[in-house]
């Protein structure tokens, strides 16, 4: 029998995280005060510090909340049915779409490396959306769909490129159009990577 207290506790916790996501998205990490977040969740700072060890910890909770949504969506596609090529293309499209979410963009992409520190951010991303991008590239190479580029490096380049482009897309007058253009350029590059050089077995997956 699930305790009543646990329900309450979990409810306030998620209310805090929700408020954090909302405010961090709107005003950024530095621009939002803990009192404000607590107020939005109709509690005081005492409750906040009961659930989280500090502002950073609350941010990381918000980060995970935002990240998990994107991860679930991408995971279904990248590790779903279909050919490696189709899954990669679907994942690409879905990732660009996800990047248009203001919360994901500001919290997970822009502020997280600064707030959490790049090292910790990278570690977290490795288990999330970046990991999926990486896996998709690896799959493409192993299936012989594209040339045997170094996986780690290429994944980092692609992830950085898309993250950066995401802001450009979101900030443009016609996001849908610019998004399609971005996808077009990436696909064109991938096409050219597979045009030549058959590559039945993936060798040279790079170190690092």
Interface with a second copy (CB under 8 A): 28-30, 110-111, 113-114, 118-119, 122, 147, 149-150, 152-154, 156-165, 167-168, 171-173, 178, 181-182, 184-186, 188-189, 192-193, 195-196, 206, 208
Q: How many CA atoms lie within 13 A of 10 on its CB side?
A: 6
| Integer CA distances (angstroms), 145 to 60, 65, 137, in order | 37, 34, 10
Say if residues 132 and 70 touch (Cβ distance below 8 Å): no
> How far apart are CB 98 and a second copy at their closest, in Å?
16
> How far apart are CB 71 and a second copy at their closest, in Å?
19
Contacting range for DNA; rule: CB under 7 A; set: 54-62, 77-85, 107-115, 187-195: 54-62
98 binds, among a second copy, DNA, none (CB under 5 to 8 A by kind): none
Residue 83 sits in the site that holds DNA (CB under 7 A): no
Say if residues 53 and 113 touch (Cβ distance below 8 Å): no
d(CA 146, CA 172): 31
> How far apart are CB 56 and DNA at their closest, in Å?
6
> How far apart are CB 53 and DNA at their closest, in Å?
7
> How far apart are CB 16 and a second copy at their closest, in Å?
21
d(CA 173, CA 78): 30
d(CA 79, CA 136): 8
102 binds, among DNA, a second copy, none (CB under 5 to 8 A by kind): none
Q: How many CA atoms lie within 13 A of 58 on its CB side?
A: 31
- Decide whether 38 or 158 has the Cβ nearer to DNA: 38
Considering only residues 2 to 41 of the shown chain, the ones binding DNA according to CB under 7 A are: 3-6, 8-9, 12-13, 32-35, 38
Take residue 8 and report the two structure tokens written for it.
Answer: 């309450």
Q: How many CA atoms lie within 13 A of 120 on its CB side?
A: 14
* Residues at the site binding DNA, with contacts judged by CB under 7 A: 3-6, 8-9, 12-13, 32-35, 38, 42-47, 49-51, 53-56
């Amino acid at each position: 029998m699930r305790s009543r207290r646990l329900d309450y506790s979990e409810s306030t916790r998620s209310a805090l995280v929700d408020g954090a996501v909302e405010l961090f998205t709107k005003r950024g990490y530095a621009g939002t005060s803990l009192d404000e977040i607590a107020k939005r969740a109709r509690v005081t700072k005492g409750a906040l510090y009961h659930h989280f060890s500090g502002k950073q910890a609350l941010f990381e909770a918000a980060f995970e909340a935002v990240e998990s949504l994107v991860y679930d969506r991408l995971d279904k596609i990248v590790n779903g049915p279909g050919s490696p090529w189709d899954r990669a293309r679907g994942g690409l499209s879905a990732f660009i779409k996800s990047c248009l979410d203001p919360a994901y963009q500001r919290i997970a992409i822009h502020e997280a490396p600064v707030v959490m520190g790049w090292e910790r951010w990278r570690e977290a991303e490795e288990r999330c959306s970046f990991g999926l991008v990486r896996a998709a590239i690896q799959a493409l190479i192993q299936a012989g769909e594209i040339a045997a580029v170094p996986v780690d490096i290429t994944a980092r380049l692609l992830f950085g490129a898309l993250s950066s482009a995401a802001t450009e897309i979101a900030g443009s007058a016609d996001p849908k159009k610019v998004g399609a253009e971005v996808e077009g350029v990436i696909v064109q590059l991938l096409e050219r990577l597979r045009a030549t050089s058959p590559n039945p077995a993936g060798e040279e997956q790079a170190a690092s």
